[in-house]
Amino acid sequence: MGKKLLIHNDHVPNIHTLDVYRAHGGYASVEKALKTMTPDQVTDEVKKSGLRGRGGAGFPTGMKWSFLAKPEGVPRYLVCNADESEPGTFKDRYLMEKVPHALIEGMITSSYALGAKTSYIYIRGEYFYVARIVEKAIEEAYAAGLLGKNILGTDFSHDCYVQVGGGAYICGEETALLESLEGKRGNPRIKPPFPAVAGLWGCPTVVNNVETIAAVCPIVNMGGEEYAKIGIGKSTGTKLISASGHINKPGVYEIELGIPVEEFIYSNEYCGGIRNGKKMKAVVAGGSSVPILPTELILTTAKGEPRLMTYESLGDGGFQTGTMLGSGGFIVMDEDTSIVKNLFTFTRFYHHESCGQCSPCREGTGWMEKILKKILAGHGTEQDVELLWDIQSKIEGKTICPLGEAAAWPVAAALRHFKHEFLDYVKNPQNIKDVKHYYRLNNLVEA
């Protein structure tokens, strides 16, 4: 049984209330940090812990915090990115729903380290009920003197607000999130300047994922060095994985980084193997935008080493033979899955969510969707498959924000590893099965 640090108490009844949460050792990190440590010491502990951003990019959190500009007389902000919209990812929802105080505790401790007097939790619109749970928890924290003026009798004051978004995927991109938080249209900003210099209302801002902020509590409690002992190499600590797809036990699992992928999929402690005794075909390891990998490449790297659940091991081989840990949206597909249909679903999503600012993403995502729809309708040609590759290569890396890449990578990976399936659909349209059913499921008009 691996160590759990974030959702170890999720089975306790009423853990979402302050009293029960505190009875189980909650808010210890706030007491420890505010009463015995300086802000820089907290940042140092986070640096020592080797904690990496849990939202998808895996950027070292301690380093991100140290980049924060600290000019005199300018307020600094901490913004929690709870706009969890990556298809296949639902870990933040689970955490906020079950133990909302873990997030608020992390917000207070992190804000203390950053010197932020105000922080915001930006929750996606679809999670309105989660927002209520978090708001309730914030009320409780205010009543108990954990938020507001002079927290726990110290001279640190802090206010935390919840802001519910409109439900746009793009607002998970940090600068679009800030625009949306400012009340504008959620379009990504052109960087530089980075939020650490000019973020919310032009002030230095740190934007962190829910899980990253929650992980600050155990780091402060146990010390950064102790936390760094969990995991392998540069992938330290625990990570929440949202496992979904054709597995026996889908759900949110907290793993110690470094367990083998094979163990995660087949052990009874985690996913419990493939549903109905089928064979595994492919895995999307970190949310829909990371490259899909076939069974042989997800279980072992191209060099033949077993693949581990770490940032490095999953990324081994680059995009040719590797993928990314991403946000931890682990989607497993069995042998009956059609990669083309699956890709069409993903592409449709990115087409719908493109903000429309820059041309490659605005026009390219729709084009890719239309071509895939054509292939699924049985009218595809080999040129269409080639064209698909060409379009994705012309989107990738040429856009303002990472949505362009997020839309291009799944297409590239599916073509790289499963091109035969596309060609089969093109040459033998009679092999395309259940399209009508698929269209009905997705409220699509037949092509």
Partner 1 sequence: MKVTIDGIEIDVPKGTTILQAARMIGPEVAPPTMCYYSKLKTSGGYCRTCIVKVTQGSTANPNPMPKPVASCRTEVMDGMVVQNVTSPEVLEARKGVVEFLLMNHPLDCPVCDQAGECNLQDLGYGHGAVTTRYEFERREFEPIDIGDKIKLHMTRCIMCFRCVKTAEQITDGRVHGVINRGDAAEISTYIEQAIDNDFSGNVIDVCPVGALTDKTFRFKQRVWFTKPMDAHRDCENPKCTGKTRVWLKGDEILRVTARKDQWDEVEDFICNTCRYDKKKKSDWVIEGPTQVNRHSVIAQNHYNHLNNLKVQVMKQQKALGFMDYNKQP
Residue 311 in tokens? 């940032």
Per CB under 8 A, does 366 bind partner 1?
yes
Binding residues with partner 1: total (CB under 8 A): 29
Q: N- to C-terminal Cα distance for the chain?
A: 50
**Binding residue (CB under 8 A) for partner 1 from 149, 249, 352, 433:** 352
Residue 372 in tokens? 């895939």
As a whole number of angstroms, the distance between CA 262 and CA 252 comes to: 17
Q: Please, which residue, 320 or 359, has the CB nearer to partner 1? A: 359
**Binding residue (CB under 8 A) for partner 1 from 210, 358, 368, 385:** 358
CB of 301 to partner 1, least distance (A): 23
CB of 100 to partner 1, least distance (A): 30
**Binding residue (CB under 8 A) for partner 1 from 18, 102, 121, 168:** 168
* Element housing 139 (H / E): helix 128-143
Q: Please, which residue, 284 or 395, has the CB nearer to partner 1? A: 395
Handedness of CA 143, 146, 147, 152 (dihedral sign): positive
Amino acid at the residue 342: N
32, 36, 73, 204, 217 from 40: Cα distances, Å: 14, 12, 19, 17, 15
For residues 141 to 160, the per-residue mask of contacts with partner 1, x marking binding by CB under 8 A and - elsewhere, is --------------------
CB of 397 to partner 1, least distance (A): 4
**Binding residue (CB under 8 A) for partner 1 from 63, 190, 423, 441:** 190
Per CB under 8 A, does 372 bind partner 1?
no
Which window, 111-119, 194-202, 215-223, 345-353, contacts partner 1 (CB under 8 A)? 345-353
Per CB under 8 A, does 370 bind partner 1?
yes
Per CB under 8 A, does 321 bind partner 1?
no
Q: Please, which residue, 266 or 367, has the CB nearer to partner 1? A: 367
Main-chain dihedrals φ then ψ at residue 80, nearest 5 degrees: -95, 125
CB of 323 to partner 1, least distance (A): 18
As a whole number of angstroms, the distance between CA 317 and CA 96 comes to: 35
Per CB under 8 A, does 278 bind partner 1?
no
As a whole number of angstroms, the distance between CA 177 and CA 189 comes to: 10
Per CB under 8 A, does 365 bind partner 1?
yes
Per CB under 8 A, does 324 bind partner 1?
no
User: What DSSP letter does each residue of 78-124 carry, written as one string?
Assistant: EEEEE---STT--HHHHHHHH-HHHHHHHHHHHHHHHT-SEEEEEE-
For residues 387 to 426, the per-residue mask of contacts with partner 1, x marking binding by CB under 8 A and - elsewhere, is x--x--xx--xxxx--------------------------
Per CB under 8 A, does 357 bind partner 1?
yes
**Binding residue (CB under 8 A) for partner 1 from 353, 376, 408, 418:** 353
As a whole number of angstroms, the distance between CA 429 and CA 91 comes to: 39
Amino acid at the residue 66: S
* Burial zone of 297 (CB within 10 Å; 0-12 exposed, 13-18 middle, 19+ buried): buried
In the complex, the residues that contact partner 1 under the rule CB under 8 A are 168, 170, 185, 190, 351-360, 362-367, 370, 387, 390, 393-394, 397-400
